[in-house]
Structure 1
Amino acid sequence: MKPPSGLRGSALVAVCLLIPLSPAAAHAAPPARIPVTFAAAPQRLGPPGPPAGVLRQTGCTITGSTAVCDLWAKNGQLVLPGAAAPVPIWGFASTSDAPAGTPGPVLVVDQDDTVTVTVHNGLGTALSLAVPAMTGLAPDHTGAAAGGSKTYTFKAGRPGTYLYEAGHTENGARQAMMGLTGALVVRAPDAAGKPSAYGDAASTYDDEAVLVLSEVDPAFNGAADPLSTDLRTYRPKYRLINGKAFPETDPVATDVGRKVLLRYVNGGVLAHPMTVLGVDQSVVGQNSRPTAYPEGAVTLPLPPGESADAITALPGGPDGRRFMLFESGSLLNNAGQKVGPTQIGVSPQQAFGGMMTYLDTNPLPVSGDHVGPTAAKVSAAPSPVSVTTPVTVTADFSDVATGNSAIDRAEVVVDDLSVAEGTGIAFTAGAFGASSVTGATATLGTADLTRLSQGRHTLWVRAHDAAGNWGAVDSVTINLSVTGASTTGLTVSPNPVGGIVDLAVSATGDDSALGGTVSAAEYFVDAAGANGSGQALTLNAPGTAISAESGTVPAAVVGALSEGRHTILVHTLDSLGLWGPPATIDLIVDRTGPTLLSGAVLPATTNGTNGSPADPTDLRINAAFTDTTAGGVHGGIAVAEGFIDTAGADGSGFTFVALDGSFGQPTENTYALVPLSELTRLADGAHQILVHSRDTAGNWGPLTGLTFTVDRTGPVVTANATAAAGVVTLNATATDALSGIAKAEFFEGADPGAGFAQPMTVVTPTTFRATVAGLANGAHTFAVRAQDAAGNWGPVGTATVTVTGSALIFANNFDTGAWSQQVGTVRVAPAAAFGNSPALTVTGRVASYVADNTPANEAALHVQFGFAAGTYNTNGAIVDIFQGRNAAGAAVVNVQYRRTAANGSQLRTGLLNSAGTWVYSGWAAVPVTAATVTVDWKSATAGSAVLTINGAASGTASGNTSNRKIESAALGVIVSTGATTGAGAIDNYTSTR
């Protein structure tokens, strides 16, 4: 017969592409059709013959209104296009002897039949049956035990198309994914003398077809135990219609001017929107329930587990046209199979596959031979095959059952069936001229093979008879090796290499993808030579598809390599005689040890008790190392170590830690801790920490010394003092052989302890000075000592001076409680602002102060004290911290303190004039740290109170004070006008006439 028009031939055919819609828009008015040209892809099967008509009775035995059905669940296999091997399935069969299939047999019953289905479980776990849309069939969570059976009975009261599947047992969902699904059709009575989907005129049809949609993931189906496979890895590679993927799907046989009922059943786990190109679909039912009226749809969305009934009316016109039925929401391919240009270096095209078939209007031939020969027993040898070896294709052809014409020729087409018939590689041997040809052969020469890429290729075989018909194709797959076995997992050890040692080379040769075996392997250093000229590697499993490879690069070869980067190349020979592409790895040759970039010992000077700021009980050694070989190739730092003064053997020192947590970088910042107890054996003086590091190639770098000093002896102090008008100037000079001088202090009388005496002012790095006022007349002996940078306090040096002309009234630094009076809760505690010496705490608003009653009818008074505002916050309130009082205890002069958010901490002085009115100076800023505060008050017609802060005049209050005298003085929190927070301190009080 003549080749049908439409997509059956090899020409390009113009069709109309309907744009797929989203589910929400699937029932909207159809969009405009856009002409698109598709490459034809012929079916493996012959013409569909006459129109399909109505479904024949299958799957059940019907007696009266009773239908008895059997489903046998068993293991089976599914052959898929391009797959290397059949895929395991679990499927249903209609008899105990029939093979399992997916989907299972179509069960066809009539409306209102009482249906009994017996499930025979040939699987290893319990199995039940579910018909999700069928009323009257309760979920079964127990099912038939392995090897057992169970019967389900229900009334088919509603016509339509139903899904049946593995039911609600523990493993039911996975059993359905393995293939245990099928379709149940409940036929409605005819309407107006024609078959009808739902018994009404709107759903009448001429032909019908059941289309069970599903997917297959070969990895899931082929797993050792699909019931425990992680479903997050489920990735379907094939999409099937009635268990077949295009180009092996069966067309729907119909004719022009006929209405086709498409019974869709989605037995998969994915949604499948289905489209027919060139015609519309009219949805008459969904999930076995009729629609209120037929709904037009270009694309019919079909969620998992649901069914739909759609009628397609084919237009009139010439016979032979095909209308493509396909899934428009996904890729139409089979596991990404490629066809098309097969030359090396030219990218192949995606092959058509998946959920695609045709509504075929080709009529049944009236007479003559219109069907081409069939092909069978197709084989190819050798396979796997090298590109250097010809392939012989063998096949049998027969036209006996399809017209009994003589077979005059046959051909092989590689991968791409879109090529024109008659342009393939011809069969050159065989008894052509008869209606049956056995053992015909064709040869793919090396010139044919060199145009192909490495991997699997499909060889399509077809024959031609004398009546002019090309027959259906059959195929065989070959595995072609173009580049040889692959080499993976290449390692070289040691790497980097520093010494002149043997290198161990290991890799894996793999020819499993091509079906061959590993025969040999070799390596080269830096540049590959001719195949077979390298140094041989040993195979641990020669003659197998995968083999470990190992060998040695001799030390002599390593010793001849220059410092820097080199390359090791390994490739593998397979049983087909091809050397594979080389695997490479960089080899770093590094014979130079790392060097020190920078380093320091903290502290640089120690007395054996003071450690680093971060680690007070240890010396901390910081060191940065870098490693660079000749040619600028960076190795990595593997370890670092140190020694005290004398180096030991490499690797025997105390270890360093990488700051980033691990070694291995070309530059590493490191540190080590040396306990201070390790210094007890060291004499005073300069010492060294000797440091170096080793790189990953095993090279130790040079030792570098980092100097530190051990100093356990404090400075020696000489002191002298001079006195004038009751003021003593104390000078001291300190010397230390190993360390600088940090500070000095003095005291008179009892030793308060090192660090707790009065601080002295630095004049030069080695000289200090202090001024002492308010001393009583007579001889005074001052003790002076100094501390060096290592923290050592030296011995005391003394200076004696005689004071004359002193006007001292009272002095107290709160070391003793020599005050005349205490009011409230008086707290004395070490204050950091005054070198941690005892000081009066100033806090709160409640009266808490000390008083001195030594003044006697004083007409002039000089007062000096240290004040540290600290955290004492009055929030704007005013606090009297000093008062000079008369004989009645009333204040006549004062110093007041306040802190505000705007102005910070401030002081002022005030006096009570003869008229009984207080007169104040302006507010002056005072630091929160220790400040020296003085007040000079006098009784006179032009009296005054002068405030000085840290030697600077800070305010004056003036007035007639001639009738005022001072009999006592108070210091602390005397009066407060509001609440306060925090605390300050007062120390070193002195009053003189």
Structure 2
Amino acid sequence: MAGRPTGGVSGVITAKHELDGGRTTMGTHPGRRRIGLAAVMAVLITTAAAVAGIGTAAAQTDIHLCALPGSASIDDPANPGTSLTIPFYGFVDVTTSMPATGDPCAGAVPRFGDPTPVRMVEGQTYTVHLHNRTDALGGGFPVNLLVAGLSGEPDLVGVAPGGDGTYTITAATPGTHMFESDLDPHHVPLGLHGVIVVDPATPGTATGAANSAYDLERVLVFHEVDPALNTAADPFAFPMTDWAPTLYLINGQTRTSAYEIPPIAAVPGDRVLVRYVNAAPSNSSIATLGLRQTVVNFDGEIYDGSGPVGEQPLDVSNVFLTSGQTADVVIEVQGAYGDRFPIYNRNLRTSATGDNGEQLVMIEVGVGGGLNGDVYFSLADATRTFRDAGPTGPGDHVSLSNEDVGVWTGTYLDKYFDGTLHGIPGAADIDAVWHDPATGDLYLSFRADLATPTDPRWAGVTKATIDESDVVHWDAAADTFDIYVDHTSIGLNGSNAHDINGLQVDPATGVVTFTTNGSYLIPWKTGSATLIGARNEDISRWVPDDPTLPNGTGHVEVVADFSDFDMVSFNDNTGTPNTTPGNLDGISTTPLDIFFTTTSTHSWGPNETYLAGWPTANANGYVLTDRDDIIGCRGFTPAAPGTLTDSCLAFAFELDFDTLHHNGVVGNVDGLSVG
């Protein structure tokens, strides 16, 4: 797709909080009382691309956006199960992924209809660096940055192709904002739009007000495509008076009989924050069936009940958005397991007959919350190349090696952490990983001992060799490493059997939940002669005496025994199950669920409850899951006092990584972190 090469220089804008009364149809009061918030804190960062260093309210933080050409694969509503290839231009947040030197956009790949928000903190000022690489495939054209509700004077010149510009934005008020390039009417229909979320200082809320508290968050970008524009030899010669969309999308995909936009999995009582962004030129009326939605923010205006009548929280069944508008709604989930509630554009535009081409996503009520949030993972095998557009088409490819950390958002797959760029040799193999959603930090353990890299970023690691049972902390904001817990503190001896191969960390308490490659028998408490043991089908945790000193004294507990479940390892050579219990690899837990991978193929028996989508028996009658499958123990209940048996309400087949790999063979997903 060729762009129009024209001139232009970078523009500089100092943004101010300026609400456009002509766009805010649900009530705009620039002089209203703002919520009083004490101080800016670290906030929940839910996606790989959004992580940035967060300082105080007075600090200025840099964000880097690249404008690039891309290609999307969309399930064809007219021929479900086959793919349409749609060229487009898009923005990519490379703040945490750009190389240390050279072009900041090197290796960046835009995502069509990307719902991944650029996260900001209320009251903080940001310098946004816009890198225009629309000329990456030839041609190119100027682009600018307009943020609805945050930008001040418009930039009428933009950044020239191949050039770089800066914009200063103050995140004045919590809420969701659409950003775009608006120099030409072709820009937004071609995909040059994105999402900024301004978080309040109060974590777990959309606005800082109690009525905006939430358990789960989802961003839904509604947009439309006329393939005739996107596939034109020169899209800028395409007359926009002829623009007639035939594809109606949410987050770059449309619901067809062969493809369902990833649902929102929840349990009764969950408060789901859904951030609607209307990036389409037409109006959208976004409705729910069976559930009500409470509007807590509209176009950056807080509806907390403290302001004028027009700013009271709105309990509605549908939200009307004109082009470019946003709304944050809280949906309280009710119903029973198996219930499904749609969120859809009630204008009922479809791309073909029947139910094909719908802008519709489901809220699914299940046992436990399922894979809500991004999935961070590492591989045990050599380099694997994934398609990032999901199972409906090849899309753009992402290569991951076993020293990297990948992320699956439910919509696309990307590289979150490049081990090679951080001095980690591939032979080290990141064996266990946990991602802190509040900071973007990673906690890592390796499959083999690692000579501490000489890179200055590793200066905080004072030992010459990192043991395979140590837990290493990567500070995402500072880009530095340190030892979080030395294996000797826990009591592990550093042998292969004591290798930590599954990991979860609670930075607030210092608790480290882990699995090991084999059996251990160690003091249950620092300095104690009493021993505690576990095997590779068990989940243990290290509890420090002082939460601020996770590498100090403490004790070990066994929190789950998976030999209680009807799962055994499977002998691939003989094609029959073994008699040994299943062995765990990567783990990630929530208050309701345990998600896990296994170190080998496993066979499952009839004595458990399995949710819809569970694998069927093979020709020999065995139900098998592979070592690249994520399994969910939904509704985990530990053994009650006086009993010996843990239980799960049901097991769920959460994700098969084979479906994301370009040739269908991934190998072993050994590190796992959900959220």
TM-score by length of structure 2 reads 0.45
TM-score by length of structure 1 reads 0.31
Based on CA coordinates, which of the two structures has the bigger radius of gyration? 1
Higher normalized strand content (fraction of residues)? 1
